[in-house]
Chain A
Amino acid sequence: MNIHNNMNLDTSSSKRKRMARCIPALAAAALAAGCASVPNPNPTDPLESYNRGMYAFNDKVDQVVFKPIAQGYETVTPKPVRTCIHNMFNNLADAWSSINSFLQGRAHDGINSMGRVLFNSTMGLGGCIDVASMNGSKRIVNDFGVTLGVWGFGPGPYIVFPFWGSTTLRDGTASLAGLAADASMYTPIFAIDNVPLRNSIIVLSLIDMRASLLSADKLVNDIALDKYSFIRDAYLQRRQALVEGSHATSRQSLPDYSSDDLPDYSDNGDAPTAPAKPAK
């Protein structure tokens, strides 16, 4: 028992050291990638100049490395195997979601997610088959960033992390702190003593995550005018909806489009004045 605990400590402290070593490299990449000028600064995105640079960098890396790997994985792995792998990682995520639901005081959601984990881990053969969803239980997506949001922390500025992508100050801090403190959905994976096996599972989880985004990726390509803005706004809206939880479409939280229907007093003499239909 003691030995096991020590090993756990060792792995997590070496992990932290490794992360510390990465930080200067990441900062350099960020500096190199940032510094594009932004013609129309957006008040909700104060770091836009850096973010756009990092987004372009991530996109390039994705095109060259991650996306081809994910596509290759989709080609060589039979669909049932991929589904099984995806479900098993979802099962781990559900366990972490359940804990967060309880932390947020959403006991009903917490019990639901816990029920899913118990059901899928047993009847679903270790999470391989998502029997809970087949029986009409919807997954409740949750993490520690959402928990902080429910506790009253605002999202802070939107940040694009190197390799990682969209996050905010709150959500990024929650994720990094969770990894550093070994409290995340990956905790059971990090607890595996066999290092090659553990690392293979982590890599597999990343590939699975990227592969599951391939169709969303295609949709964004089809409909976004500016991919950076589209992804940012979608991310921020989605996170906000998760923090609001089941109240997401209650009256108060619906987007209020009327504010812009107030008279526009901008001093723009040459703008054509059109008899626009008044909005309600």
Chain B
Amino acid sequence: MAGGAVRGFFERLGGQVTSRLWRLGFASRFLGYMVLHSGTALRRFPLTIREIYFAGVLSLIIILVSGLFVGMVLGLQGYNTLERYGSSEALGVLVALSLVRELGPVVAGLLFASRAGSAITAEIGLMKATEQISAMEMMAVDPIARIVAPRFWGGVISMPLLAGLFSAMGVFGGYLVGVKLIGVDEGAFWSQMQAAVDLREDILNGVIKSFVFGIAVSWIAVFEGYDAPPTAEGVSGATTRTVVTSSLAILALDFILTALMFTGGNGR
């Protein structure tokens, strides 16, 4: 009896693992096919620009407002801590490094997954449910090249720009709270930040992170949309999966990238 239950448990576990591996393989083939058939998206760049507008420009409000508040909170929390050690002038460094290295790419990525990733999945899923994708195939137009690839590249291009704007807005928020509200010396705030933040080690690594997150979120979003069962429940489930999987992927990738970039011989 107990043996049967254990066997059933392992069979279910094995089935789950096999099914997820199969899906990962399918998603990888999908990514390969999409990248190979990105000629249309890149040759007819207005198609991609349209998607940059929908994924990037329409996400600006949430990114900028969130960046401002995160920066202001960093200013408050950072000042409280630094003041204990008499180094409140280093507030600019703390705010800038926190944002550029970590919070900018990660929080912007999470917001991007929720705002743009879910929209991309829902749009592609609904196009599938309403036979628009089948119609395109019957018109001898490859839907992956015409619909999916522009949305993927639109997301990949938008993400680093949004993360950059998030960080800039965050630094501005830290400045407002630290310098204008609390009274930290303005010269020290900016000069220490300028001296401590390195273009390659900090900013470029942050840009690389946000670019990787952009690829991950956009890939997950377009794949979930294209693979969604063509029903209301199917699209709803795919949209949820996009947000959950993207968020987990961002956090896991952030750990891996941070370990590669800022530890060992490369760390400071």
Say whether A and B bind each other.
no
Which B residues have a C-beta under 8 Å from some C-beta of A?
none
Which A residues have a C-beta under 8 Å from some C-beta of B?
none
